[in-house]
Amino acid sequence: MLPPPWQQFSPFNPAVYLISCFRWSFYGVADVSVALSLGMTLLFMLLCLAAVRWIFETGYRLKTWERSGTPP
C-alpha cells in the first residue's frame, strides 16, 4: 500500500519485520516469511548490542558528561 519510492526503502526498516512477526503470530498471515522476519530481527538486535558494547568499551560521549557534570 506504500507509494513506489517507499516500497524500495521499507525492507531496510526493522519495524517491518517485527510487525510481520506479530501479524503471523496473531493471524497466521505475514507479509514477509517468518524465517526472514526472525532472522532480520535477530540481526538488528545483534547490531544494536554491538553498538552498545562499543559505546561502553570506548566511553563514547559518556566520559565527557562525567567530567563536565552536564549532558553534552
User: Please, which pLDDT band fits residue 4 given cuts at 50, 70 and 90?
Assistant: confident
Instruction: Quote the number of domains for the chain.
Output: 1
In this predicted model, what pLDDT tens digit does every residue of 6-64 receive, in sequence order? 888 888 888 889 899 889 999 999 888 899 999 999 999 999 999 999 988 887 777 65
Helix axes 14-27, 34-58, angle to 10 degrees: 140
> Which triple of cell numbers denotes residue 53?
558494547
The pLDDT, as a whole number, for residue 68 is 57
Domain holding 59, by residue range, is: 4-68
Output the pTM of the full model. Answer: 0.68
Report which of residues 47 and 72 the model is more confident about. Answer: 47
